[in-house]
């Protein structure tokens, strides 16, 4: 074997050794994921933000608001809050329709609209309120229900968002006779029954049974603090 051939072989062998070493180094490199704390913090960030918003709006949402609709009636939003999970958040409101007109209405349609900063509707839901007793809503009658409207993540907009309600209550053309909601004779009979029940209690009735505490020294913890110890 000539010196030139030996030199070429040695050079090729060296290149192969370098390539093999590089491949071995790459294969032995261990994948290092991000620390668990960082990944957990990134995952929990939207949950914590929604949790904060829920707590803030939960406190503000207990102030009742009345919306007057001429010729239709009055809608009262008694409570509103954010519900759901990140990516699927709703504005949930407890609304009461009250017939404040001077005529009976057949039914009441109430809309809950979610608005962006430019007051464009981005989410909406409606409820049809029908008297469960079968007769129309006479003046003074009311009905309460819960409506949930999808926010389409507009609640995340730092520029702000808002909501509003709408109402339409068609006039009842054939209401029939107005029902009697309070029977005075029945109320008088109930009063007599209540008096007689008090007499029996005085003769030895001790009321409903009272169950013992779960353990000695048990003290009820009381209600949770809204927005701090209970989340929905």
Domain ranges of the chain: 56-168
For residue range 188-232, list pLDDT tens digits in order.
766 666 554 444 444 454 554 454 554 555 554 444 333 333 222
State residue 111's pLDDT score: 93
B/e letters for 194-206, b = 16+ CB within 10 Å, e = fewer, are eeeeeeeeeeeee
| CB 59 within 8 Å of CB 226 | yes
3-state secondary structure of 83: strand
Distance, in Å, from the CA atom of 208 to the CA atom of 196, rounded to the nearest integer, reads 17
Distance, in Å, from the CA atom of 111 to the CA atom of 104, rounded to the nearest integer, reads 20
State residue 109's pLDDT score: 93
DSSP E strands in the chain: the ranges are: 65-69, 73-85, 88-98, 108-115, 121-129, 142-150, 162-168
CATH class of this structure's domain 56-168: mainly beta
State residue 99's pLDDT score: 94
Beta bridge partners of 91: 82, 149
State residue 192's pLDDT score: 66
Quick one: which H or E segment has residue 48?
helix 36-60
State residue 62's pLDDT score: 84
Distance, in Å, from the CA atom of 46 to the CA atom of 51, rounded to the nearest integer, reads 8
| CB 173 within 8 Å of CB 142 | no
State residue 223's pLDDT score: 40
Label the pairing between strands 65-69 and 108-115.
Answer: unpaired
State residue 3's pLDDT score: 54
Q: Which segments of the chain have a pLDDT < 70?
A: 1-31, 179-187, 189-232
Quick one: which H or E segment has residue 202?
helix 184-202
Give the closest residue to 175 by CA, choosing from 146, 214, 136, 148: 136
Give the closest residue to 91 by CA, choosing from 158, 46, 157, 146: 146
């Amino acid at each position: 074997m000539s010196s030139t051939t030996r030199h070429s072989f040695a050079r090729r062998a060296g290149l192969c050794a370098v390539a093999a070493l590089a491949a071995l180094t790459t294969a032995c490199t261990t994948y290092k994921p991000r620390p668990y704390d960082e990944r957990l913090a990134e995952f929990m960030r939207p949950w914590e933000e929604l949790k904060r918003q829920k707590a803030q709006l939960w406190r503000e949402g207990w102030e009742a608001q009345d919306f007057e609709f001429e010729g239709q009636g009055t809608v009262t939003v008694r409570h509103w809050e954010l519900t759901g999970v990140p990516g699927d958040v709703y504005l949930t409101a407890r609304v009461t329709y009250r017939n404040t007109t001077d005529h009976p209405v057949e039914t009441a349609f109430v809309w809950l609209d979610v608005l962006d900063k430019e007051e464009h509707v981005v989410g909406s839901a409606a409820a049809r309120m029908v008297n469960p007793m079968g007769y129309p809503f006479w003046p003074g009658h009311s009905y309460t229900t819960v409506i949930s409207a999808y926010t389409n993540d507009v609640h995340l907009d730092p520029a702000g968002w808002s909501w509003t309600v709408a109402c339409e209550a068609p006039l009842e053309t054939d209401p029939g006779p107005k029902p009697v909601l309070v029977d005075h004779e029945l109320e008088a009979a109930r009063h007599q029954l209540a008096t007689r029940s008090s007499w029996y209690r005085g003769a030895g009735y001790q009321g409903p049974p009272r169950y013992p505490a779960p353990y000695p020294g048990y003290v009820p913890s009381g209600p949770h603090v809204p927005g701090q110890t209970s989340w929905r």
